[in-house]
Structures are given as structure tokens and as C-alpha cells.
Chains A and B, each alone.
Chain A
Amino acid sequence: MIPVDYYIILSAILFVIGVLGVLIRRNALIIFMSIELMLNAANLAIVAFGSVIKSFDGQIFVFFVIAVAAAEVAVGLALIVEIFKSKRSIDVDQMSSLKG
């Protein structure tokens, strides 16, 4: 059996990739996908931990996270669509009228 540490390391790597994606990419959609990556990294960790302690708690939690993420997607996409309608762009760097 693969030790749980491997999963955790993998999830950590995924998480960091997600974070860096948010930091580096300018496309709102891709940033959004990176966030999903972060959430999924967490999911991976939870599932891994859950399997170690032989508990369903982790898996249940993952379902919750997935559901919430779906809800977020709905709202997020709607927002992006709105922005695109008015700005004709989803480059987050162009959204900088609020500052100071």
C-alpha cells in the first residue's frame, strides 16, 4: 500500500500549482480553474487521511466541498460572463479601476 505521505505530498504539490496559477495567470477563467485545483488538492488530502483512519467522514466532507465548489462555479461563471459582457475581456489585470 502506498503510504499516506505520498498522497499528502502530491496534494501539496497540486495545491502549490493551484496557488501559483492564481498568482501567475491573468485569465479569470484559468485563475478560477486554479482555485478549483487548490480545492481538489484539499479533497485529495482529505480522502487520503480518511482512508488512513478508515472513516467515511473524509469522503463525506469531500462531497460537501465538491458541491460547494459547484455552487461557486455557478456564481463565478455568471460574474465572469457579466464582466465579459461589459469589458469584452476577462483579463483580471484590466479590472483595476478600483484602487487607491
Chain B
Amino acid sequence: MNQFDLTTILPITILTVWACVLLLVDLFIPKTRKGITALLSALGLAATLGFTLSQIGMEDSGFNGMVALDGFSTFVNALLLVSGLLGVALAYGYVKRMGIERGEYYTLLLFSVVGMMLMAQATDLIVVFLALELLSIPLYVLAAFSRPKTDSEEAGLKYFLLGAFSSGFLVYGIALIFGATQSTNIFAIVESASTSTSNLLLTIGAALLLIGFGFKVAAVPFHMWTPDVYQGAPTAVTAFMSSGAKIAGFAALLRVFATAFPAIATDMTDVLWVLSAATMIVGNVVAIAQTDIKRLLAYSSIAHAGYILMVFVPYGNENVVATSVAAGLFYLVSYAFTNFGAWGVVIALEKKEGKGLALNDYAGLSKRHPALAAAMAVFMLSLIGLPPTIGLIGKIYLFRAVIDAGFVWLAIIGVLTSLVSAFYYLRVIVVMYMKDGEPTAEREPWLDMTTAVTALVTVIVSFVPQFLFAWASDAVLKLF
């Protein structure tokens, strides 16, 4: 271990230390003023974000190739930190309102972010596993944070049991890969894989690995937990979980598969193709029947996982993999902002005792809270993929990559399912704008600000996406 090793994980280190300190500091913060903890954690996230951004352009590898610092990780880390910030901002008022304001909330959130960031940097399967658990365990707790509310506890337990179950597969997959390639380092794996002749063990291992990640990103058929957990967990947690865990899961999936398993790409492509298509179809189709906004967004989240999965399909094709991955990264950004915004609106309307979450509770929102309704409309349009939102740009980027790689039918499934998705997203708009009702919404400054910022980003970036495009494509440049 040398100073370079530390540089590679500098932001992670800072955030970890900060989280530990915060855990202690929190003890001295009175119960009624846990907002301070929130502010402190936000401060930590912001500072880390600063360090992360300062690392743009740096390329390094540390701890004997266990972690890497590159454009990709920086990009993902920055996105994760922003997600963390947004998560804190959303939670600030929410936890107070729901009577679950406890300091651990923020600490757990920070630890989870740490896990996610580590995931983006991991180049060794051991670290991947560690990071996965590090991000998951706090989320299990957060999901059950509304205890003694049964829904929340149930969500926590379900998430936990199924999460552990899927990490069982992950670990076993790693074991098989280790057996097949005699290494857990992804660079060593790729070398070993290219020389060996029989890949069955490796293939099975990789498939099991895929299942582990698939669970995290909620790909069909590993998605079953998603709606229940999203519904049961406190909404602020759901918001963070649906973006952060997805980003991290995809980041690891991208790095591991693109780096370690190009040799078995032909086999995996079919699997990924089907996974992606199934995820898009199931997610969107099932979402139609939802009347609970949280479940609706949960299925929407599944569906979007399907879209992102499309970029993995051509991962073995050297010519297009860079574009694909860049497209995936951009889509993650667009999804993160849109998603946080949408959850923000949900939080604004949520009442205690789980009220205010039915779709019909949004009736007449445009009259009572035009700005909130407008923001939600923007998010819905973005999720559909319509101008003038970042969602459209993201989708176009994705589809371009898919078409570029020659998977036209997958693209067709993609666009058709987004047509299906238009139906339920539009229903939200219909209810807000075209039905009468007397909804009440909480207007907390931080919440409003979050919603406003995400809405603005969603719209404005759609006009000037080139900077993000450039960053995303630079980020993946050195990955291969």
C-alpha cells in the first residue's frame, strides 16, 4: 500500500471517515435537531463530490489491481454522490414528517453510497462482492426504517432475504469463476479466459454473477422484490435505492462484463438480449395496472433497467461497446435525475399512515400546485422519452447504440414498450391535469428545491446534452 493506492480511493476514504465521524457526532445531536446530521452528511457528500470531480482525468489502479480510478469510476462516483445528495435532500423533511427522524438514517445512507462508489471502482470480484454487501446492508436497514410500521419491516425483510439469496448466487458464481480462471481479478480473468479452451465453468460463473447483479438492478425475472420493497420502504429510501443501487449495479456489471468476459460474449449476448427484452416488457406491461404511485414507479424502474440492459447486449462487439457503455452512462444520469424528481413529488404528496399514494390522490394537482404538477409532468414526459426532456435524449442515445450494434429487433421492442409506458405515465398527467380533486402537498424548501433542480436539469440538459455526452464517452474511453 502506498499513497497512490490511497489516491485511488480518496473520495471513498473521505466519505467513510466522515460517515464514521458522523456516527459519533450524531450521538451528541439532540433528537429534535437531527436536521443537523442531515446537513453534515450532505456536507460530506458535497465535499466528496468536490474531490471526485477533481479526479476527472486521472487514471490509476491501486491495491494490486483491486480497485481502479478511471474516467468511468469518476463519472459514476460523481453521479452516485449527486444521488446521495438528492437522497439526503429528499429525506430531510420527509423523515421528520413521518416521525422516523433518527440520525442513523443519514449515516446508513452514507455507508451505502460508499458501497456504491466502491462498486464502481472495483476491479476484483472480491471487492465487487464486498462493495455489493456494503451498499446492500445499509439499504436493508433503511428499507425497514419506518419500524414498527409493518409494511416497512416487511419490505426490509423481503429485501434482505432475497438480497442475501441472490448474493449467494453471486458468491457461488465468483467461486466458479475463480475455479475456472484461478483468479478473481478481472484483468487476470480476461487473460486466462482468452487462453483456456473450455469455458463452461466460466460461463456458468459469469451467469451466476449476472444473476447477482440482475437482482440489484431489478431485471426480470429477478425483479419480484422491487415493487414490494419500493412500496413498503420509506419513500425517501425508495428514491435513493431506485437510483443509487441501480447505478452501482450497472456500473459493476458494465465494468466486470465488459472487461472480464468478452470471451463469452456470444453466449451472454443472447441471455442479455432476452433479459433486457423481458425486463422492458414485464416492467412496462405490469405497470399499466398499478394504481399506487409507488408501485407504478417501481415497475417503471424495472422497465428502465430493461432499457439500460440493452446496452450490454452488444458488449462483446469491440466497435460499438464504447458507444453502448457511454449511452448507458448517460441514460443512468437521465434516469437518476428524472427518477429523483418524480419521487420528490411523491414525497411531497405523501401523508402519514401511507396515505396520499394512490394515483387518485393526484387529481387536481395542477390547480392547487401548478408548479409541482408541471414538474411531475416533466418527469413523466422524461420517463416516456418525449421532448423537451433528458429522457428523450437518453433514449435516443440508447437506441442509437443498439441500432449501431445491429440489434434492430431489440430496439423495436424498446420503442414499442416505451409506447406502452406512455400509457401509464400519461395517466399520471391525466389525473393531475384533467381530473378534479383537492390534493394537499407538503411544501418543504429542500424538497421543493430538489424537485425544481431535477426538473430544470431534466429540461435544460435536453437542450445541451453535448457536455454530458462528451463526459460519458470520455469516461468509457480508457475502460477498454
Residues of A within 8 A of B (CB): 4, 8, 11, 15, 18-19, 22, 28, 31-32, 35, 38-39, 41-43, 45-46, 48-50, 52-53, 55, 57-58, 60-61, 64-65, 68, 71-72, 75-76, 78-80, 82-83, 85-87, 92, 95-100
- Additional A-B contacts beyond A4-B179, A45-B179, A98-B151 (20; CB < 8 A): A15-B168, A18-B168, A22-B165, A28-B157, A38-B165, A38-B171, A43-B175, A49-B178, A61-B126, A64-B129, A68-B133, A71-B133, A75-B141, A78-B141, A79-B144, A79-B156, A82-B156, A83-B157, A95-B157, A98-B229
Report the minimal beta-carbon distance from A35 to chain B, rounded to whole angstroms. 5
| A76 CA to B140 CA, complexed, in Å | 9
* A46: nearest chain-B partner, CB-CB: B175
**For chains A and B in complex, what number of residue pairs have CB atoms within 8 angstroms?**
130
- Are A42 and B140 also in contact (CB < 8 A) when A35-B165, A98-B232 are? no
User: Are A64's CB and B126's CB within 8 A?
Assistant: yes
Best-buried of A48, A95, A96 by chain B (most CB within 10 Å): A95
The A interface is mostly helix, strand or loop, or mixed, namely: helix
User: Are A83's CB and B153's CB within 8 A?
Assistant: yes
User: Are B153's CB and A72's CB within 8 A?
Assistant: no
| A49 CA to B157 CA, complexed, in Å | 33
Let me know if B392 is at the binding interface, CB within 8 A.
no
- Are A75 and B165 also in contact (CB < 8 A) when A8-B179, A46-B178, A55-B182 are? no
Let me know if B429 is at the binding interface, CB within 8 A.
no
- A residues in contact with B156, CB < 8 Å: 79, 82
| A83 CA to B157 CA, complexed, in Å | 8
Chain B, range 178-204, C-beta contacts under 8 Å to A: 178-179, 182-184
- A residues in contact with B150, CB < 8 Å: 86-87, 97
Let me know if B172 is at the binding interface, CB within 8 A.
yes
- A residues in contact with B174, CB < 8 Å: 42, 46, 61
- B residues in contact with A71, CB < 8 Å: 133, 137
